[in-house]
């Protein structure tokens, strides 16, 4: 059952995201035909349910086969990279600051950093499935955005307030994850 949950969850989650990445834009756009709110509501619902299914299956398949043993120092890579990734993730939802303007698509950069950092520190098959699939998706989506000519925030003037909000929210999220969520959900202390 956990393997089915991983497969169904991953296919539904990445399928919805890849559909959104490669959907037609403009006049025939499904988001325009259905309406922004219904489209985003359905997209969010599918994403949350499939991500929960994927996470449940992944957690219940542990222990995963160990493919290699990462060097002890690699555990410091996620500890160092994750505050940056969470600041970038927060920047995706705050007003345009220099962080968002420079990163262009801060959420995708955050996902790539999160996935790559965790791939360095984990040598089991589960890590490759989880982090590898998110890294592959983020790379594909970024390439698709570049081909569409999507340059992110565009000509919006960046504000320092947007950066301060992103930094504050990102670091607060890091603390919550490190001291509460990571041990609770993953079962491993970060430090």
Q: Mean pLDDT for the chain?
A: 90
pLDDT tens, position by position, 130-157: 899 999 999 999 999 888 888 888 788 9
Q: What pTM was computed for the model?
A: 0.86
Q: What domain range includes position 5? A: 1-61
Question: Do 30 and 99 fall into the same domain?
Answer: no
- Rounded to whole angstroms, the Cα distance separating 47 from 45 reads 5
- The full DSSP string for 130-158 is HHHHHHHHHHHHHHHHHHHT--TTTTPPP
- The full DSSP string for 24-64 is PPSTT-HHHHH-HHHHHHHHHHHHHHHHHHHHHHHHHTPSP
pLDDT of 56 higher than 90: no
- Rounded to whole angstroms, the Cα distance separating 76 from 80 reads 6
pLDDT of 163 higher than 80: yes
pLDDT of 99 higher than 80: yes
pLDDT at 87: 98
Band of the pLDDT at 90, cuts 50, 70, 90? very high
pLDDT at 59: 81
Last residue of a domain, one of 19, 40, 61: 61
Question: Do 27 and 115 fall into the same domain?
Answer: no
Question: Do 85 and 171 fall into the same domain?
Answer: yes
pLDDT at 190: 81
Question: Do 93 and 173 fall into the same domain?
Answer: yes
Per the CB < 8 A criterion, the answer to whether 138 and 92 are in contact is: no
Domain tally, the chain: 2
pLDDT tens, position by position, 1-41: 888 888 899 899 999 998 888 877 777 778 888 888 998 99
Question: Do 71 and 47 fall into the same domain?
Answer: no
Question: Do 135 and 165 fall into the same domain?
Answer: yes
């Amino acid at each position: 059952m956990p393997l089915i949950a991983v497969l169904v969850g991953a296919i539904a989650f990445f399928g919805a995201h890849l559909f959104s990445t490669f959907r037609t834009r403009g006049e025939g756009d499904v988001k325009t035909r259905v309406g922004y709110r219904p489209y985003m509501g359905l997209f969010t619902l599918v994403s949350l349910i499939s991500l929960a299914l994927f996470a449940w299956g992944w957690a219940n398949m542990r222990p995963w086969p160990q493919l290699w043993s990462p060097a002890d120092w690699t555990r410091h890579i996620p500890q160092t990279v994750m505050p940056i990734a969470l600041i970038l993730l927060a920047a995706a939802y705050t007003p345009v600051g220099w962080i968002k303007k420079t990163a262009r698509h801060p959420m995708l950069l955050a996902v790539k950093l999160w996935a790559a950092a965790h791939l360095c520190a984990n040598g089991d098959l589960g890590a490759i499935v989880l982090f590898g699939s998110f890294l592959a998706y983020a790379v594909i989506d970024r390439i698709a955005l570049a081909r569409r000519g999507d340059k992110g925030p565009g000509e919006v003037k960046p504000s320092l307030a947007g950066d301060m909000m992103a930094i504050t929210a990102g670091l607060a999220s890091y603390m919550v994850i490190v001291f509460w969520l990571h041990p609770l959900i993953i079962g491993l202390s970060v430090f």
